[in-house]
Structure formats: C-alpha cells, structure tokens
Structure 1
Amino acid sequence: MVAGVLIDWGGVLTTSMSDSIRHWIVADRIDDAHYREVMGELVRHAYSGDGETVVHALERGEIDGSTFERDLAARLRTVDGAPPVADGLLERMFAGFERAEAMYDMLRDVREAGVRTCLLSNSWSNTYPREGWDEIFDAVVISGEVGMRKPEPRIFQHALGLVGLPGEACVFIDDIEANIVAARALGIEGIHHTDPDTTITRLETLLQLSLRRA
C-alpha cells in the first residue's frame, strides 16, 4: 500500500519547462536551434552517467547560479550572433513558470488522507515559492541544499529517511524519465508526469482515493 508521495517541482507543480523556455527564447531573441543543440548535449550528459558536467555541479550546489549563467551564456548565442546577457539568465529562463493549482490541491488532499509527502527537486540556483508549503509537505529535499541530485540513489534514500518509509511504500512523480528509472530501481513506484489530469488519475488508482475537486 502506498503511504508516501515524493514529487518534483519544476514541470510538475508548475506549468511545463518547455513552455517557459519558449517564452524566454522569444524574449531574449535566442537562436532556438543552437540552444536546443547546446542544452540537449548538457542534459544528455547530466542523465546518462557519462561523466560530470557543469549541470551536475549546479544541481548539487557546488557552483552558484552566476557561475553557471556565465558558462551557459558563453555557449549560447542570440539571433544576432552575440552571446546573451549572463546576469539573470536563469531567472529569465524560468520566469514563465506558473503554479499547477490542480497538483497543489491534490497534495493537500493526499496529505489530509494521512499520506506522507516530500518535495524532491533538482535546483538550478532558483528561488522556490515556499508560501503554503507547510500545508502540503512533510519534508522538502532540494538538491542544491543537500549536495545530492536526482537520479543519484542517495538523494532518494535521503528523502525516504525524512518521511520514514521504505521505497516500496512510496510513489515518485517526475517529468524526467531518467529520474523515474532511478526511483524504480530502489523499489519506488514511478509516475512519469506529462499533465496533471493523467498523473492525478494514476495516483487515485495507487492510493485508492478520490482526488478530484468540483
């Protein structure tokens, strides 16, 4: 029986990362094709286990956001061929995030039903909107604060310790498949998030709860 829910933030408790990135690319006049080539390579290495990258260091808090911004800005270019402004780059990239209210409502209902909840998020030196978190989370694990990152097994084990549950008693919700695979290797049920409706439907089945609000 599922007694705990571990859940990602960006792209799960918010609108999608791709939507936010699209807004930023237009606003900063970024060369879209070049951005996708650069970021695709960084993300591939970040989740392939094929050596360390600047993304690993950022997510573990080993470098600060401004250092990563300078590195990323040097790799990117605008449609004019110049590098984008490094200062505030990450804030602009994520400015399009909006709360996914249905997911927050779901977490309130889940916790009221006695299920333990834990935020488990890889941070990019970003500021999290923590207002009201006491109402929905029993524990919070943010990669840059604990020096670990998904999909490393140790960050999942840390989260399980905070909620006091074994992996077999928990479900993990994330929008990145590599993180789901890592969680399943520890016995944690995984839900690959694509949209709130699909995730909530799956969670209702696992928890045997009604999580729909009128």
Structure 2
Amino acid sequence: MFRGLIVDYAGVLTDPDAGDLYAAIDGLRERGVRTALLSNAAGGGSAKARLSAFFDALVFSGEVGFAKPSAQVYLITAERLGLSADSCVFVDDSRGNVAGAVAAGMAGVHHTSVESTLTELSALFPA
C-alpha cells in the first residue's frame, strides 16, 4: 500500500490541466497520503509559499545537493515524508527521472497527460 506521493513541478504541475492534479493531491492528503514536491530547481523562492499548501515537503535539488535521477534525492524526499521509498509513488514527465525513482525503490508514473496520470494515481491509491 502506497502512503506517499512525490510530484515533479515543471512539466507536471505546469501542465495546462494541472488544476485537476492539484485537486487530486488535495484529495489524497485528505485521505492521509503524505505528499512532496521534488524539483531539480536550485531553490524554491516564491514557489515555496505558493506550493506549501499542497505538499507536506518541498525538496529542491539545489538545496539538498543531489539532483534527479540520483537515488539520493528520492531517498531524501521519502525521508522528509517520514516514509520508506517503497511506500512512495513518484510522478515526472522525464522517463529518466522516473527510472531513477524506480531504481531507488519507488513506484513510478511517467506523466504524459493529466488524464493518464490521474488514471494511474487512482489505480495506485484506490479509494
């Protein structure tokens, strides 16, 4: 059973239909799923204030010293959620980053559209 959802920002949460993803993230949090944003950005800047309402943890590669697809950045993110890697699902639009998360022990979802990602998340986090 998965207890954590980790999501990339650029390419996933910047999708034109991302409002539906934000709603799904809110719904999962209401069900007790821990959520994190994992970005290869240098730092959060103003994004931290805007995104902190949706996530239990915000991890930026420039702040932790490891970037996707390094296994270490996924493990740091899971740790910040208080979870093991194998209880987390990672969503990214880069196949290489998804492969890195899977190698670190997570389940991976390759984001190609909001609709397909929501379908996969509903299968991984059944109501």
**Residue 64 of structure 2 aligns with which residue?**
146
Give the fraction of aligned pairs with identical amino acids, expressed as a percent: 39
**Residue 9 of structure 1 aligns with which residue?**
9
1:11-69 alpha-carbon deviations (Å, 9 max, x no partner)? 10002xxxxxxxxxxxxxxxxxxxxxxxxxxxxxxxxxxxxxxxxxxxxxxxxxxxxxx
**Residue 185 of structure 1 aligns with which residue?**
103
How well do the aligned residues superpose, as a CA RMSD in angstroms? 1.8
**Residue 23 of structure 2 aligns with which residue?**
105
- Partner Cα separation in structure 2 for residue 140 and residue 125 of structure 1: 10
Give the 3 Å change call, closer, same or farther, for CA 147–99 of structure 1 in structure 2. farther
Offset, 1:126:
7.9
Offset, 1:125:
6.6
- Partner Cα separation in structure 2 for residue 117 and residue 153 of structure 1: 18
**Which has the larger strand fraction?**
2
Show structure 1 runs of 4+ deviating over 2 A: 124-135
Give the 3 Å change call, closer, same or farther, for CA 128–178 of structure 1 in structure 2. farther
Q: Is the 8 A contact 1:121 1:141 kept in 2?
A: yes
Give the 3 Å change call, closer, same or farther, for CA 148–3 of structure 1 in structure 2. same
Q: Is the 8 A contact 1:108 1:135 kept in 2?
A: no
2:39 aligned with 1:121, yes or no? yes
Query: Match of 1:2, as an amino acid?
Result: F
Offset, 1:130:
3.6
**Residue 116 of structure 2 aligns with which residue?**
198
Residue correspondences, number = 127
Q: TM-score, normalised by structure 2?
A: 0.91
1:100-140 alpha-carbon deviations (Å, 9 max, x no partner)? 21111111111111000010011167855344423210101
- Secondary structure in structure 2 of the residue aligned to 1:135: coil
- Partner Cα separation in structure 2 for residue 109 and residue 159 of structure 1: 20
Give the 3 Å change call, closer, same or farther, for CA 125–114 of structure 1 in structure 2. closer
Q: Highest Rg: 1 or 2? A: 1
- Partner Cα separation in structure 2 for residue 139 and residue 118 of structure 1: 5
Q: Is the 8 A contact 1:122 1:142 kept in 2?
A: yes
1:157-198 alpha-carbon deviations (Å, 9 max, x no partner)? 110110011111110000000111111112200000001111
Query: Match of 1:141, as an amino acid?
Result: V
- Partner Cα separation in structure 2 for residue 126 and residue 120 of structure 1: 10
**Residue 54 of structure 2 aligns with which residue?**
136
